């Protein structure tokens, strides 16, 4: 089978690509061809048991989607997006990539007679906007408070309608915030949820800009890849018309995150967290979802690798640090 | 103030325009200019106390929205749409008018610095898709089962985001099915809800294609106009970020509709209803919403003129038949 990954240079896209290369198969079918796309060229894998194309370019210009699907990929993982902060700062760019780009892809597929690929769309919990119930249920409405969440919510609606009309096999998954996000600290307002764990484990200081009672919704990169693989292979008849699902995760306060870090890595490591309250970040985080039920996704077989926040810390040490950290 | 009505030749658009012409004001402000637009030219009102422009054309072609708002209308009532049946049959046309047309209008407003009109968007209960709870609450999610409902749900999301970013003062209202819809019987699958009352009152036979236990959500044309006027004048600070509201209505079974007709107009009139079950229409109607809570809209001062289904029949006789019907 031929697989196309859009947004393959991003963190989740990279992890997914590595996993596909390692497995050589998706579900029961062997991978015969893999196309990796991003606005900057994803790294070309050194060894692969099948042809791998690496493509770069803007996927939201006329004709780009047609070229990307010219090889008729059987499964498309659509992870390409302008992130929330940038989509908020650059209105036109966010709508162009996140909305128009997605729609161009759907339309390019639609007009090809007899072509009906599996399309896995990564949505976001940013489709929800405060105020929230204690735990957000699967039937709670979408009132995003960011343009990014608006664009993702629109993508979900299009995906469901194009699926209903038989143009493609769409499935949308709302990923929790990925924790622990590997790599360098980034400027995303949500960055601190990972920074306060990753940096201390690497022997560095990290800034905590909010209070310890802030609650959020997390999953490991390993779980995120697992969700994508399941979405790429599952029987969609069981999903029915409601094609967009909140993925399972762990709801934890910052205090619970730090307690897990202490248990797994010791007090010395946790002492590298510096508390510097930032009213701007606090005000943004206030509007974010804290907890979900995610019943449907669990019933449909989506599971997290981690059962506790301690597991989240351990999985990072295992997958990213070769089993070692700076104690 | 200058008011623009898009979709002014449609049934609700016509009723709204007549009301604006009759009142000469919207809320506390005098109307100084009225622009009526539709794809076919709306009727030019004979007498008006202020200038009335009648404009026709496709509002979803590049440049059309810019022309329509060149006079900087203070309030825009956006009722222009391809209806559900047509949007389902003609995929491209539905998306072009209902999605692209709406977005072009929003963008034309957005790029004019310092211009921030009130935009009243008529959405639809078609944003909801079965299965439903007993009464759909204000926080129930949108899983439309028609492209029309998808397009309306996307319009709602855009309206809220453009409002949040300060480009306009948007408010979306989901109208119930209008009953009794005046005019000739139409081919809409929902047409029978009105046909079985209107036609018998005019001395004609009408076909009932579903069973009497089918429940649906109704409001009179008079109430629909009242909702629009309220949306055009209310303080939006009270609405907050959640800019799209399910309007109040009456939930009634077909049996209850017929009982009301009998009480108001007599058994002879109701005897003009012929039962001819139509499996195709029954299957469509099965997926439609039956009942809503509409708490937020009621709290925000939206009210129906009718308190019972008898009122719905009486209001039709009063507003459309000059107080008389064929007994």
Domains of chain B: 2-178+220-246 (3.40.50.720)
Mutation choice for B interface testing from A129, A140, A155, A157 by most B CBs within 10 A = A157
- Cross-chain residue pair B150–A158, CB shorter than 8 Å: yes
Is the predicted pLDDT of residue B280 greater than 90, yes or no?
no
Which of A163-177, A178-192, B78-92 shows the lowest per-residue confidence on average (mean pLDDT)? A178-192
Mutation choice for B interface testing from A154, A174, A243, A284 by most B CBs within 10 A = A154
Interface residues of chain B, partner chain A, Cβ below 8 Å: 91, 129, 138-145, 147, 150, 153-154, 157-158, 160-161, 164-165, 241-242
Which of A65-79, B187-201, B296-310 shows the lowest per-residue confidence on average (mean pLDDT)? B187-201
The upper half-sphere exposure of residue A126, i.e. CA atoms within 13 Å in the direction of its Cβ, equals: 24
Instruction: Indicate the pLDDT class of residue A189, thresholds 50, 70 and 90.
Output: confident
pLDDT recorded at residue B46: 85
Nearest to A142 among B91, B142, B144 (CB): B142
Mean pLDDT of B176-201: 91
| CA dist., res. A287 & res. A260, Å (int) | 25
ipTM above 0.85, yes or no: yes
Mean pLDDT taken over chain B: 96
The DSSP annotation for A226-269 comes to: HHHHHHHHS-GGGTTT--EEEPP-EEEEHHHHHHHHHHHH-HHH
Measured between beta carbons, the chain B residues lying within 8 angstroms of A92 are none
Mean pLDDT of B215-233: 98
- Of the candidates B95, B128, B148, B162, the residue annotated as catalytic is B148
Mean pLDDT of A185-205: 91
Note whether B81 and B39 are within 8 A (CB).
no
Nearest to A143 among B129, B154, B242 (CB): B242
H-helix or E-strand containing B150?
helix B147-164
Q: Per the structure block, which two tokens stand in for A227?
A: 């969700």
Is the predicted pLDDT of residue A188 greater than 80, yes or no?
no
| CA dist., res. A151 & res. A27, Å (int) | 30
pLDDT recorded at residue B283: 87
Task: Tell me what percent of the residues of chain B surpass a pLDDT of 90.
Answer: 91
Is the predicted pLDDT of residue A195 greater than 80, yes or no?
yes
Mean pLDDT of B71-97: 95
- Cross-chain residue pair A158–B158, CB shorter than 8 Å: no
Q: In what order do the strands lie in the sheet with B215-219?
A: B177-178, B215-219, B250-253
pLDDT recorded at residue B188: 74
Q: Per the structure block, which two tokens stand in for B105?
A: 């209008």
Q: In what order do the strands lie in the sheet with B33-38?
A: B52-56, B33-38, B2-6, B75-78, B118-124, B169-175, B244-246
pLDDT recorded at residue A99: 98
- Cross-chain residue pair A165–B147, CB shorter than 8 Å: yes
Measured between beta carbons, the chain A residues lying within 8 angstroms of B147 are 161, 165
In chain B, the residue whose alpha carbon lies closest to the alpha carbon of A130 is B241
Measured between beta carbons, the chain A residues lying within 8 angstroms of B143 are 160, 241-242
State the alpha helices, DSSP H only, in chain A. 11-23, 64-68, 84-89, 91-94, 102-110, 147-164, 192-201, 221-233, 254-265, 267-270, 279-286, 295-299, 309-320
Residues facing A123 on adjacent strands: A174
- Cross-chain residue pair B141–A140, CB shorter than 8 Å: yes
Measured between beta carbons, the chain A residues lying within 8 angstroms of B140 are 139, 141
Measured between beta carbons, the chain B residues lying within 8 angstroms of A141 are 138-142
3 state DSSP class of A212:
coil
- Cross-chain residue pair A158–B154, CB shorter than 8 Å: yes
């Amino acid at each position: 089978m031929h697989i196309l990954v859009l947004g393959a240079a991003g963190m989740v896209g990279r992890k997914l690509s590595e996993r596909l290369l390692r497995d050589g198969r998706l579900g029961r079918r062997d991978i015969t061809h893999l196309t990796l796309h991003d606005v900057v060229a994803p790294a070309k894998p050194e060894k692969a048991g099948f042809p791998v194309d690496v493509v770069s370019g803007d996927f939201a210009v006329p004709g780009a989607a047609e070229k990307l699907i010219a090889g008729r990929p059987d499964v498309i993982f659509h992870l390409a997006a302008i992130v929330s902060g940038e989509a908020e700062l650059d209105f036109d760019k966010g709508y162009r990539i996140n909305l128009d780009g997605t729609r161009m892809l759907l339309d390019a597929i639609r007009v090809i007679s007899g072509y009906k690929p599996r399309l896995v769309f990564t949505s976001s919990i940013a489709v929800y906007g405060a105020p929230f119930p204690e735990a957000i249920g699967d039937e709670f409405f979408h009132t995003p408070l960011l343009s990014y969440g608006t664009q993702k919510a629109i993508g979900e609606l299009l995906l469901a309608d194009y699926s209903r009309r038989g143009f493609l096999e769409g499935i949308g998954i709302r990923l929790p915030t990925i924790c622990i996000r590997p790599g360098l600290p980034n400027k995303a307002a949500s960055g601190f949820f990972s920074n306060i764990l990753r940096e201390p484990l690497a022997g560095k200081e990290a800034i905590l800009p909010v209070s310890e009672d802030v609650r959020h919704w997390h999953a490991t990169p390993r779980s995120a890849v697992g969700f994508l693989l399941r979405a790429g292979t599952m029987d969609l008849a069981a999903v029915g018309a409601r094609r967009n699902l909140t993925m399972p995760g762990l709801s934890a306060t910052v205090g619970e995150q730090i307690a897990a870090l202490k248990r797994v890595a010791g007090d010395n490591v946790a002492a590298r967290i510096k508390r510097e309250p930032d009213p701007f970040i606090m005000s943004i985080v206030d509007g974010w979802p804290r907890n979900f039920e995610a019943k449907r996704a669990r019933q449909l077989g989506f599971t997290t690798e981690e059962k506790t926040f301690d597991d989240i810390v351990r999985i990072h040490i295992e997958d990213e640090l070769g089993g070692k950290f700076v104690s």
